[in-house]
Amino acid sequence: MHRWSAIAFVFAAASGTAFANCADALKSGTPPRVKLSTTQGDIVIALDPAKAPITSENFARYVDDGHYNGTIFHRVIDNFMIQGGGLSSELAEKQTRPPIRNEASNGLRNDAYTIAMARTSNPNSATAQFFINAKDNDFLNYRDDMNPGYAVFGKVVEGREVVDKIRKVPVKRSALSEAQPLENVVIRKAECVAGSKGQQK
């Protein structure tokens, strides 16, 4: 997977330190923020590496690698969630790294406008695909080993109206998804844009 040829420097608001990418911000202890520039508008997500270190690092690596650039939200269910990050606008599945351990027991809940990892029935199968909750989805939270839940690792801090716009787009049932948008909602670019010292609220 190739890295971006040009990465905008990120300035941590609290420390004044410049970071070349999300990985550097994480190493410094500065929780990064990631901007998803989509065809429906921009969404800014604050990661929570304190409570979801494995998942945050995994997502940050995909951002830094440019994996999400040109991917789509392929599963959009109003009053539930919007899911993307794994398929190109040509509907081709993108290559991923090995799956990560499920961190759903970290205390973060699948509340409205949080971001979590998508996975199969295997709790430890998440790779690159993620979803943004459109409402409080308590049934996705960790309960016990029999109900392992879905790992939340951050929240939308800007662009909630864009999430609402995306979840309202017309969809169709297809071989790809039970709710594939009629017109592609594309993540044109994902980039690390800011960070701040301390715990995310």
pLDDT beyond 50 at 9: no
Instruction: Give, rounded to a whole angstrom, the gap between the first and last alpha carbons of the chain.
Output: 33
Provide mean pLDDT across the span 133-148.
97
Cα separation values, 140 from 42, 71, 115, 137, 152, Å? 26, 24, 12, 6, 10
Q: Which CATH code of 1.10.3720.10, 3.20.20.370, 2.40.50.140, 2.40.100.10 fits the domain covering 10-195?
A: 2.40.100.10
- Averaged pLDDT score across all residues of the chain: 89
Who has greater pLDDT, 11 or 159? 159
Tell me the helices (H) and strands (E) count for the chain, helix number first: 3, 12
- Name the band, by pLDDT with cuts 50, 70 and 90, for residue 196: low
Query: Taking 60 as the threshold, does the pLDDT of residue 164 lie above it?
Result: yes
Q: Which two three-digit tokens encode residue 52?
A: 């979801």
In a 3-state reduction of DSSP, which class is residue 163? helix
Q: How confident is the model at residue 198 (pLDDT cuts 50, 70, 90)?
A: very low
Mean per-residue pLDDT, 57-77: 98
**Residues pairing with 158 in the sheet:** 44
Hey, where are the domains in the chain? Answer: 10-195
Report the alpha-carbon angle 20-24-26, nearest 5.
135
Q: 28 pLDDT band (50/70/90 cuts)?
A: confident
pLDDT of residue 30: 85
CA dist list (Å): 200 to 29, 47, 48, 51: 12, 8, 6, 10
Q: Comparing C-alpha atoms, which of 154, 193, 187, 153 is closest to residue 36?
A: 187
* pLDDT (mean) for 109-132: 98
Rounded to two decimals, the pTM is 0.88
pLDDT at 18 over 80: no
What's the mean pLDDT in 25-45?
A: 94
